[in-house]
Structure 1
Amino acid sequence: MRKRHIAIALLAAGSMALTACSAGSLGSSDDSGGDGKVSLSFLVDNAAETVKIGNQLAKDFTAKNPNITIKVETRPAGTDGDNLVKTRLSTGDMSDVFMYNSGSLFQAIAPEKNLVPLDEGQNIGSLDKNFTTTVTANSKVYGVPWGGFMAGAILYNKDVYSKLGLSVPKTWDEFMANNAKIKASGVDPVIQSYGETWTSQLFVLGDFANVLSADPQFADKYTANQAKYATTPAALAGFQHLQQVHDLKYENKDFASAKLPDALRYLAQGKGANYPILSATLSELISENPGSENKIGLFAIPGSDGSKNNLTVWAPAGVYIPTTTTGAKLDAAKKFLAYIASPDGCTSQTTASQPTGPYAVKGCSVGDSVPQAVKDMQTYIDNGASSLALEFLSPVKGPALEQICVEVGSGISKADAGAKHYDEDVKKQAQQLGLSGW
């Protein structure tokens, strides 16, 4: 899924100039004095929840380490923020510690040149491998997780399932059998919201854990142009699922025009039973539909093998130390990252903002007060039953996937044609990146 669509859907992308949330100058100037006290600047994006978490981490860390003060600074989100981070790294003017994306955008900031590698002193052995994969370059880990995982999954109305005596499906056949019973009861089995085209992609992107279960080398082969969606049965299945749901008229009648708020309302009210979507939409679902937090559950998109039905996850952002942070500041920064990557750090983040996904730190709990869907996600993480989304394992992504999914899910084109179309779409992008084999 393209990063800008996730940002549009889930974040209040900012465009303001860099500002400081607390006193202190920008950059990594030496604020350590002869009294042993150190002041660190900590750069985060300016989304409201992000700032709340940053301030809480700074407060709680300083309470345990009174000789270290954290000054939280903010930057714009989105493209403006990306450009600012790259500029400040290249000019040697980066804050002492900063929060930024993991995955492909992390690789784009030249971590081996610009970042300090971490070790066991920063608790990297306690981090979920699905996260460390996204902040590793040349076998070295450079970041600790900010926040929790996000899943591409199916949110479902537990009351509808309970009333009809349905169980959570682990295979696609079981899912479709559920849908037949749901439709017979007068409820829309599958909610779609193509009025916001980015939401159309989850039956494909959220199905990637099933693709990896069938072919663990798919991402590498896909990157090398040795595997394609149209000719790999497990990958083609996502497009087939879109077509099948439409052909059986299992979606809501206004699927073509409905938008995310509509879909979440239908789900909360029980007008629809299942919604393939990103778990990060839970915060909007609950805020706009009070009382729904324990009525909505979550399960991984079912595949062909129920014994390998893993959850597809998007990794959290990371917190990094630039190479311009040295001396006493570097020691303090490493302590700060170790704190973030600990149960105490998770508790601090939970204090600031209710988690919408499991933490990537072993021993961390989201607590009992989180929505049921987050607890469901935690079970997959605890059981080691999750896999990264393809965008974290391959740089090959095509810009037209959402439009292609809308076409297949609307009956305009068939699954095989949609998969072939997407294979052509990614070819152009792979060639622009200069990838070998394309």
Structure 2
Amino acid sequence: MKRRTIAISVLAATAMALGACSAGSLGSSDDEGGGKVTLSFLTDNQPETVKIAEGLAKDFTAKNPDITIKVETRPQGTEGDNIVKTRLSTGDMTDVFQYNTGSLFQALAPAKNLTAVDGFTDRLDENFAKTVTADSKVYGAPFGNFMAGAILYNKDVYAKLGLQVPKTWDDFMANNAKIKASGVDPVIQTYGETWTSQLFILGDYHNVEAAEPGWADKYTKNQAKYATSPAALAGFQHLQQVHDEGYINKDFASAKLTDGLNKLAKGEGAQYPILSAMLSQLIADNPGTENKIGLFAIPGSDAAKNGLTVWSPSAVYMPSSTTGDKAEAAKKFLDFVASADGCASQAAASQPTGPFAVKGCKVPDTVPQAVKDMQAYIDQQGGSSLALEFLSPVKGPALEQICVEVGSGIRKADAGAKLYDEDVKKQAQQLGLEGW
């Protein structure tokens, strides 16, 4: 996913239209004189992104009347990436801009093209800070919310059967047995959209890191593999186990994301390993389910180390081409974005789909129960870890197909892990990584 494989899949699943840059998006606005400054702010053109950006601009100016923020847009995806990189390289970037974190951020050559920040870094969630740090310097303020790779579950089914949220895989499988006996499908799988097959692997990374600290670094250096690491192999084994025990829905091979979400909402299936961002679609398609669907982390082997695997939000950056009065104004804006007032502004513009990456910022009481469940993991010391894609650039393109085979009983877990190790080898060599 360090070209955000999962994130790109989500965009494809939600069918967001890509638009063109706004007419005014070439070049930054000039200072207005009289001590007033106007900053240009480039974001992607996803509707919720624009709403949040415009809300931040309005609320910031209300507190800083001498600084005006003008929001401009660019396409999403590869086209948008190329626009950002081109404008940075030519010194034609807007005064501030919103962009990805993690490896895509690293690809911007931050030391050369961006300005480091330091006034608010102590407020940043540790997981987020890692995704905008280069050479020990922090460059971005969080824009949006964390997303999790987790298990959404039907709270009514759990309550009817007297089940507790599992903190170990054994507890999870014991729940599955009781759920199956009640006539409900324990685990929903939707291989009709292959990207959804990956969550037992990708959402399990917190457990891998908890068992083998620093695994991602070893993996990047070709010193650790899925097939030979018990903690990493467990994800493939879990995928095989729920199939072999008959705990998945009969139509798993053809069912699609919408089918899975609806099945969960109606209580026809009890649990669905999926990205938390899909909660929005579930609620939109099934009104009144906001508090009927909960969320828990994919269980591992140690209840004491149970925690959530999270995907970082994007960030707002200041390019090195922003100087003088504009630079001072831009620093104030990023400080606002990374503050309690900034969180409140974003929440007012668009209902949060996950926790904020600023310490002390809580989601409103009006958010769905699953988002509140996520917040509890973020608040817990050691209760969350970044997804592997934020810690390593290595991810093979065939993972979703391999997961479908393992989850369908076509290929055994150990064989699937070995095949994936070969798949990532090709990609690592293309990236020119040492040790491959």
TM-score range, shorter-chain basis? over 0.9
Give the SS at the match of 2:190.
coil
Distance 1:13 1:142 in 2: 28
Tell me which of 146, 151, 156 is aligned to 2:153.
Answer: 156
**Cα pair 2:25 2:73 within 8 Å, conserved:** no
Per-residue CA distance 1:90-136 (angstroms, 9 max, x = gap): 1111010000000010011111100000012xx11100010010000
Deviations 1:59-81 (A, max 9, x none): 11101111100000000001110
Instruction: Kindly state the Cα deviation for residue 9 of structure 1 after the two structures are TM-superposed.
Output: 2.0
Checking the alignment, whether the CA contact within 8 Å between 2:189 and 2:260 is kept in structure 1 is yes
CA distance in 1, matches of 2:38, 2:69: 6
What residue is the counterpart of 1:316 in the other structure? 313
Q: 2:104 maps to what in 1?
A: 105
What pairs with 1:187-266 in structure 2 (closer than 5 Å)? 187-266=184-263
Equivalent position of 2:279 in the other structure: 282
1:13 is displaced (CA, Å) by 4.2
Which residue of structure 2 aligns with residue 429 of structure 1? 427
Report the equivalent of 1:386: 384
> Do 2:42 and 2:71's aligned partners in 1 also have CA atoms closer than 8 Å?
yes
Partner of 1:28: 28
Q: How big is the shift at 1:26?
A: 3.1
- Partners of 1:6 and 1:213 lie apart in 2 by 24
> Which structure 2 residues correspond to residues 31-110 of structure 1 after superposition, within 5 A?
31-110=30-109
Secondary structure (helix, strand or coil) at the match of 1:98 reads: strand
Q: How far apart are 1:16 and its partner, in Å?
A: 2.6
Partner of 1:136: 133
Deviations 1:353-411 (A, max 9, x none): 10010000011111100000000000000113000000000111100000000000000
Moved more, 369-378 or 1-10: 1-10
d(CA) in 2 for partners of 1:12, 1:96: 30
Report if aligned partners of 1:7, 1:13 keep a CA contact under 8 Å in 2: no
Q: Do structure 1's residue 416 and structure 2's residue 419 form an aligned pair?
A: no
SS in structure 2 of the partner of residue 161 of structure 1: helix
Conserved? CA contact 1:14–1:78, under 8 Å: no
2-side partners of 1:13 and 1:252: how far apart?
29
Q: Are the equivalent residues in 1 in contact too, given 2:340–2:361 (CA < 8 A)?
A: yes
Distance, in Å, in 1 between the alignment partners of 2:19 and 2:268 is 40
Q: Check conservation: 1:13, 1:78, Cα contact below 8 A.
A: no
**Residue type of the alignment partner of 1:374:** V
1:25, 1:136 → 2: CA distance?
Answer: 27
Q: In the TM superposition, what is the alpha-carbon distance from 1:3 to its structure 2 partner?
A: 2.0
Native 8 Å contact 2:240 2:409 kept in 1 = yes
Unaligned stretches of 5+ residues in structure 1: none
Q: Which runs of 5+ in 2 are unaligned?
A: none
Residue from 295, 298, 322 that aligns with 1:298: 295
- 1:115 maps to 114
Q: By how many angstroms is 1:310 displaced?
A: 1.0
Amino acid at match of 1:54: A
Q: Distance in 2 between matches of 1:167 and 1:182?
A: 12
**Which residue of structure 1 aligns with residue 326 of structure 2?**
329
Is the Cα contact below 8 Å between 1:4 and 1:78 reproduced in 2?
no
Q: CA deviation at 1:32?
A: 1.4
Q: Quote the Cα distance in structure 2 between the aligned partners of 1:26 and 1:43.
A: 10
Relative to structure 1, the CA distance from residue 85 to residue 12 in structure 2 (aligned partners, 3 Å threshold; closer, same or farther) is farther
> Partner of 2:40: helix, strand, or coil?
strand
Aligned-residue offset at 1:318 = 0.8
Residue 7 of structure 1 and its aligned partner are, at CA, apart by 2.6
Contact 1:300 1:310 in 2 (8 A): yes
Aligned residue for 2:87, secondary structure, equals: helix
- What's the CA shift string for 1:265-289, capped at 9, x where partnerless? 0000000000000001111111111
CA distance, structure 1, for counterparts of residue 67 and residue 96 of structure 2: 13
Query: Would you say how many aligned residue pairs link Structure 1 and Structure 2?
Result: 432
SS class of match (1:220): helix
CA drift of 1:12 comes to 4.4
Aligned residues: CA RMSD: 1.1
8 Å contact kept, 1:152–1:313: yes
Structure 1 residue aligned with 2:21, among 15, 18, 24?
18
Match of 1:125 in 2: 122
Distance apart, 1:217 and its partner CA: 1.6
Per-residue displacement from partner, 1:13-47 (whole Å, max 9, x unpaired)?
44332115xxx563235x21330000000001001
Displacement, 1:4? 4.5
Whether the aligned pair in 2 keeps the contact of 1:15 and 1:80 (CA below 8 Å) is no
Q: TM-score, normalised by structure 2?
A: 0.97
Amino acid in structure 2 at the alignment position of 1:423: D
CA distance 1:8–1:213, shift in 2 (3 Å): closer
Q: CA deviation at 1:248?
A: 0.8
SS of the equivalent of 1:19 reads coil
User: Shift in Å at residue 5 of structure 1?
Assistant: 4.3
> For the residues of structure 2 that align with 1:25 and 1:185, how far apart are their CA atoms?
58
Instruction: Indicate conservation of the 8 Å contact 2:32/2:38, yes or no.
Output: no
Q: Is the 8 A contact 2:25 2:42 kept in 1?
A: no
- In the aligned structure 1, how far is the partner of 2:201 from the partner of 2:333? 38
